Amino acid sequence: MGNQEHFRVWRGDDETGDFVDYDVEVNEGEVVLDIIHRIQATQAPDLAVRWNCKAGKCGSCSAEINGRPRLLCMTRMSTLPPGEPIVVTPMRTFPVIRDLVTDVSFNYEKAREVRAFVPPEGVAPGDYRMQQVDVERSQEFRKCIECFLCQDTCHVLRDHEENKPAFAGPRFLMRVAELDMHPLDAAAEQGLNRKEAAQDEHGLGFCNITKCCSEVCPEHIKITDNALIPLKERVVDLKFDPLIRRKKRARRA
């Protein structure tokens, strides 16, 4: 028989809702998702929660625990302050479907707005050659499990619904950065300047480098340091580097 802990779980939909209290058993080694499942099994069979892998890899179980964006399946009960109520709420930045389940389709729309990798002309996929350093750079970004916790926590989206149309959020600016750094991406040959797109279409200028996105990333991706800041530097180069400006002028002439 484990300890009894007090959970406060948000129940409701996008229109209305409230906290519901549950006293529930907690055993050694359990994570918050185990406790949510126990509440479902013993007290609230209609409690809605999205999950899939229970291994921190599918990115489905994103929610907020004591106000902090976290994966329910990767948050050990032993890391939470004992004897205090544990408050579980849905991600705040996205509309609630029911209880802990949010509608994250905003993120899929933003994903669609980033134009895909453009393969280099005349090189077959198996013949792509890249320096190891370039492979490793994008490898870090590819660890993303699309949990959208970074999108949930970024204040540009979290506190300003009105920014949503203009700001892609850290996850998708990271994707733009990855493509812009990709040595084989031939987007420029098709007239797409990814740096200009980052600034003008995906709202890079909204990011004021608070780094909250990197802090909550369960894959420990250095979103700000390795993607957003380098992308900002590249955009600045595009604007102010005299050589780049001369080349641009020459192209226009």
Cβ distance 209 to 229 under 8 Å?
Answer: yes
Q: Which residue has tokens 């949010």? A: 102
Is residue 52 involved in binding ligand FES (CB under 6 A)? Answer: yes
Among 38, 59, 77, 185, interactor with ligand FES by CB under 6 A? 59
Residues that bind ligand F3S (CB under 6 A): 154, 156, 170, 207-213, 224, 228
Spatial distance between the Cα atoms of 10 and 180, rounded to a whole number of angstroms: 41
Nearer to ligand F3S by Cβ, of 50 and 232: the residue is 232
**How near is the Cβ of 31 to ligand SF4 at its closest, in Å?**
17
Is residue 157 involved in binding ligand FES (CB under 6 A)? Answer: no
Cβ distance 246 to 197 under 8 Å?
Answer: no
Interface region with ligand SF4, contact rule CB under 6 A, candidates 116-124, 218-226, 229-237, 239-247: 218-226
> Which entry of ligand F3S, ligand FES, ligand SF4, none binds 156, CB below 5 to 8 A by partner kind?
ligand F3S
Spatial CA neighbour of 73 closest among 37, 47, 21? 37
> Which entry of ligand F3S, ligand SF4, ligand FES, none binds 209, CB below 5 to 8 A by partner kind?
ligand F3S
